[in-house]
Amino acid sequence: MLSTIGIPGLILILIIALVIFGPKKLPEIGKAAGQTLSEFKKSTRDLTSDVEKEVKETKEIIETGESK
């Protein structure tokens, strides 16, 4: 999706954000967005590892024919 925006589009978005929020609020908004993205990635990674663990345990149960 971002590849279709291009550099001119990103510059335009930055200018509009600067006009709307002002130069003092823009770094705060960027920091909050970065923290949100970081937390989202961490949650996604945790969820993926949980699912992979469950799949691995299920495969082991099926292969051995045992239940917990």
pLDDT tens-digit series, residues 19-58:
988 888 888 988 998 999 999 999 999 999 999 999 999 9
**63 neighbors 55 (Cβ within 8 angstroms):** no
- For residue 61, give every residue at least 6 positions away whose Cβ sits within 8 Å of its Cβ, in sequence order, or none: 67, 68
The whole-number pLDDT of residue 37 equals 93
Categorize the per-residue pLDDT at 14 as very low, low, confident or very high, splitting at 50, 70 and 90.
confident
60/62 Cα distance (integer angstroms): 5
Confidence of residue 3 (pLDDT cuts 50, 70, 90): low
> Average pLDDT of 4-23?
87
Instruction: Give me the mean pLDDT over the 8-22 stretch.
Output: 88
